[in-house]
Structure 1
Amino acid sequence: MSNFTATLLLSSTPRKSPPSTPPPQTIDSTYITETIRDAFSCLCTKVYLNLLLDTWKPLSTDSLSTATAVEVTIIDPTSSGIQIRALKGYSELKEFEYIYNVDVALQEDSVFRKHKRLVVFDMDSTLIEQEVIDELAAFVGVKDKVAAITESAMRGELDFTASLRSRAALLNGVPSNVFTTLKSNGTITFTPGAHELCKALKKLGCKLAVLSGGFQPLAEWVKSSLGLDYAYANTLEVSADGQSLTGVVLGDIVNAERKATLLKEIASKEGVDLRQVVAVGDGANDLVMMREAGFGVAFNAKPKVQEEAPSHLNSGTLRDILYLFGFTAAEVEELVD
């Protein structure tokens, strides 16, 4: 038999896309109520998983009755994870999440769950709230056009490498000091909880990296601001007179495959077992690195990404990721203090 942990978090953001056949009603709760816990227990029973009722543990508060994040131990009698994979793919789990506006993350209950050593992040719409290339496009009046391509690429509808080159070409003529401008005028903002999460992870001894399909100048700024250890992103060519961008992307593009390769290279360099690596992102180009990591989190991600990622979290703050590692609110406060 194998033990797994299920973490249930009440979403603080609007419900995700409904299942193909939406349930007749949805239920809004302030807490993970007994009704929600009972409904989840029933789901587990349907796929022959043994949920240990006496292991329900509140994470966000000291009491189960007022918790918005809880965890519970599940036993998979097959010892192979077959039944857990069945639960992950179960259409009724998606309905459960939609009805109660709850995110469910399933992980093997091992020493590696709480002891992470490397966490890699996407940048745009993950560590920061904007898609940087869209903001660059605003300087030459093509933001709407570029944003539409970006949205489609992040949903996985377009090849990322080709779409980046086509979007970058539209940036010809953007002032070369644009990255300094974006940083200084308040256009680029960090996602709530980014600083606290990175501070907590550093206290735990984790190495941190940003692997971005965006651009190196801002990735370096994010690295410096959050105390990260690595930053990899794309480089835009500057005109011969140094005054503007040419719209050409230099070198290898940091696409989905490149992110996964970088994740493995950093882990190898730092001597980190991949089971102790976490990848966090929001776009289709983050899925490959999520699968390479021991644990992947789709944060406020596109619907397709939420369905395919190892786990998903819809929250107003990145610090809620710490609940997925089994930390309580009191422990989180100690880590971010």
Structure 2
Amino acid sequence: MLIARLIADTSRQETGVREPGALERRLDQAGKVFAARSMPLASATLLDVGEPVIELRFAEGTPSTAIGVIEQFFAPVDLLVAEDDIVVPRLFVSDMDSTMIGQECIDELADYAGLKEPIAAITERAMRGELDFADALHERVALLEGLEQSAIERCLEERIVASPGAAVLVATLKSLGCRCVLVTGGFHHFADVVAEMLGFDRVVGNRLAVEDRKLTGKLEGDISDAGTKLATLRSEAEAFGANARTCAAGDGANDIPMIEAADYGFAYRAKPKARAAANGRIERAELTPMLSLLGVQRRDWVEG
């Protein structure tokens, strides 16, 4: 059994005006393409979770085929594809930068040293998977040598903002018995504050070395990278048993291993490689569509 859930924009792309009957026509067209690809629709249901979520069920097929056809007819679309019934996960592991917050912390911090443009260019290439993550991290941190530690506090206060819906997502998952872990290739100086703000249960990240209240241009301890994210997901999942569902979210190349390993791996407004690796995709700025795709009723969201 293959299950695909989607939240589609049914307005006309060229005018932005909602087209009566558009959803039904697109479903009919998609159904024909699915059938032609040996994936006949077993059922198509509108789930009542507070916003229109369409659930498609197939007796057989592949996630990649399902995602490709859905995007052909419904883009832009938020979606989740799974090979079993979709339930609320017991574990949620998320990236921080450009996922739980709208910024890349090292880029914003670099601005206080007058180095945002060159550091942001390295960050972008690393997140696209064009550079080795560890090398890119060491290169960027080295450029910050001598920056006053007070710049971190200023950056947190002046620049760092949670992504829309992040707090609701974490609070709601926790209320439903899900453990939430923030694992980042960024830094504890930022992640500890963000985790407390959003309600995460644990933080894993890198540590900037500081001496005499200035950054040394080095890191303390082991690097938190793609392997760390995957290892964190796996080790945390062990506590819940083999049958417990896991969920991960991220946007960059260093998130790919944990996204692929999770039962529900969401790419949030992601770089192309991360997006291609995911069986869940969120294209809107809001993170709360994840809740709808997981089947959480709107009345059960924890807001405010």
Do these two structures clear the TM 0.5 threshold for a shared fold by scoring above it?
yes
Distance 1:247 1:43 in 2: 54
Pairing 1:291-302 to 2, within 5 Å after superposition: 291-302=260-271
Indicate the residue corresponding to 1:278 in structure 2: 247
Q: Is structure 2 residue 116 aligned with structure 1 residue 105?
A: no
Say if 1:6 and 1:54 are closer, same or farther in 2 by CA, change over 3 A: closer
| Structure 1 residue corresponding to 2:218, chosen from 227, 243, 248 | 248
Could you say if the C-alpha distance between residues 285 and 27 of structure 1 is closer, same or farther in structure 2, counting changes exceeding 3 Å?
farther
Q: 1:54 to 1:140 in 2, by over 3 A?
A: closer
Secondary structure of 1:114's aligned partner: coil
1:101 Cα deviation from its structure 2 partner: 2.2
Q: Distance in 2 between matches of 1:266 and 1:177?
A: 34
Question: What is the CA distance between 1:277 and its match in structure 2?
Answer: 0.9
SS at match of 1:125: helix
Moved over 4 A (4+): 25-32
- Does residue 225 of the first structure (1) align with residue 197 of the second (2)? yes
Identify if the C-alpha distance between structure 1 residues 104 and 36 changes in structure 2 by more than 3 Å, giving closer, same or farther: farther
Number of the residue aligned with 1:127? 100
Q: Partner of 2:146 in structure 1?
A: 173
Q: Name 1:84's counterpart in structure 2.
A: 62
- In the other structure, the counterpart of 2:72 is 95
Match of residue 315, structure 1, among 274, 284, 287 = 284
Q: CA deviation at 1:177?
A: 2.4
TM alignment of 1:164-243, pairs within 5 A? 164-185=137-158, 187-239=159-211, 242-243=212-213
Whether 2:127 is the aligned partner of 1:154: answer yes
Which sections of structure 2, spanning at least 5 residues, go unmatched?
none
1:185-218 CA deviation, whole Å, 9 max, x = no partner?
A: 3x10000000111111011010000000000121
Q: CA–CA distance in 2 between the matches of 1:264 and 1:168?
A: 28
8 Å contact from structure 1 (residues 274, 293) kept in 2: no
Match of 2:116 in 1: 143
Aligned-residue Cα RMSD (Å) equals: 2.3
Is 1:71 the counterpart of 2:55? The answer is yes
Contact 1:118 1:272 in 2 (8 A): no
Q: Which runs of 5+ in 1 are unaligned?
A: 13-24, 62-66, 77-82
Q: What secondary structure does 2:99 align onto?
A: coil
How big is the shift at 1:235? 0.5
